[in-house]
Structure 1
């Protein structure tokens, strides 16, 4: 299925909350204020099915030429190969437009092998610490305290060595 992607809007808060609750089987139940705050502090895209219901979302923030993918959710999970790919590629396109060098996605070390294969298939991997520039290293360690692992994809062939 090819989804329709669009920026999340304040009017989407309740639908986003429902998507999160369904996808996590109720483990996460964000308040309207929490969803609105996330929308306000980062870019957020929704993926809509043909009936205009949300089936995925992604949020990101850009800093120091690195796009950080902070939220990524596709439900049902069977849509990950299509809808998930659309969402990640949309963030990468926005990151390229903003002259970013890399995209980083933060994942649980206990993620499924299918999820890891999905990210690897999109070009994300763990980079050796010594090969990371300072901004990449900072981004890679940003969520260490939360038990997250950074997978990185270089999206700009040449690294920026002076201001653009």
Structure 2
């Protein structure tokens, strides 16, 4: 695994590379890190979160925590400690503050954004300050079947990113996605009624795949609600096809699908690169 991580780091074009690993300190990966960050929360809060987010029993949650090294040892090894027992905003501020102190080469100034034409779709990355707008949009376009609050979206930012589609300055689409273990997963898609999907889908997926390439993702999995899966031509036009979990063939991709697929969704697949980095031993 350390060889695979080393290969990924050497391929990366970014000035800073982050390794997120539960057992970082128990492996030889930590020796290659310039700094170690540890996220700290009381054990009872860890148990509560595992039960709520992972749907574990209390006994299973305690067993998972017990399988890790003592938190006290991690705190001793940490150069940065993020206290995660308060609000999402408080945790985010700590991360932003610590991140700003990392020395890195001066980056070129970003180009000024191109002025969008009337009716043109613009895709950009969502930010924590967009949480309220994202929550209102999802609640509205689902007619309240999925009620979201700002706190819900802030919590989701801990696991995934959001891409926003705007048209004439108004939010017209939201996609929730993540890359984990070199597999892209798009598990939330919401569009304004009447939005031309033959335009929105290519614009959205181009952004997803560009960002996925930066993260060296091997494959992309879409989980489509039935009303979105009916747009077969639009998805096939950007290279996706319906697939079964079994048909994915690669264990890591199958595990990602089983872990992320929402109930009632269909699985669509696209291979993003031919060479694989993480192979089963």
TM-score by length of 2: 0.51
Cα distance change on mapping 1:144 and 1:158 into 2, 3 Å: same
Cα distance change on mapping 1:133 and 1:48 into 2, 3 Å: same
Flag the structure with more relative contact order, 1 or 2, with Cα contacts below 8 A and sequence separation at least 6: 1
CA distance in 2, matches of 1:72, 1:4: 16
Q: Which stretch shifts more, 93-102 or 127-136?
A: 127-136
Unaligned regions of 5+ residues in structure 2, if any? 1-118
Q: Superposition RMSD on alpha carbons, in Å?
A: 2.4
- C-alpha distance after superposition, 1:78-134 (max 9, x if no partner): 3222123211221111111211111001123x3356333322222112346255211
Cα distance change on mapping 1:37 and 1:115 into 2, 3 Å: farther
Cα distance change on mapping 1:76 and 1:131 into 2, 3 Å: closer
SS of the equivalent of 1:135 reads helix
Structure 1 residue aligned with 2:237 = 121
Which residue of 135, 139, 149 corresponds with 1:21? 139
Cα distance change on mapping 1:145 and 1:76 into 2, 3 Å: closer
Unaligned regions of 5+ residues in structure 1, if any? none
* Offset, 1:72: 1.4
* Offset, 1:135: 0.9
The yes-or-no answer on 1:90 pairing with 2:227 is no
Structure 2 residue aligned with 1:132 = 249
CA distance in 2, matches of 1:101, 1:123: 14
Larger radius of gyration: 2
CA distance in 1, matches of 2:156, 2:124: 16
* Offset, 1:18: 2.4
* Offset, 1:143: 3.9
- Tell me, yes or no, if the aligned pair for 2:132 and 2:150 is still in contact at 8 Å: yes
CA distance in 2, matches of 1:42, 1:63: 10
Count of residue correspondences: 161
TM-score by length of 1: 0.83
CA distance in 1, matches of 2:139, 2:278: 43
Cα distance change on mapping 1:113 and 1:10 into 2, 3 Å: closer
* Offset, 1:77: 4.1
Bigger strand share: 1
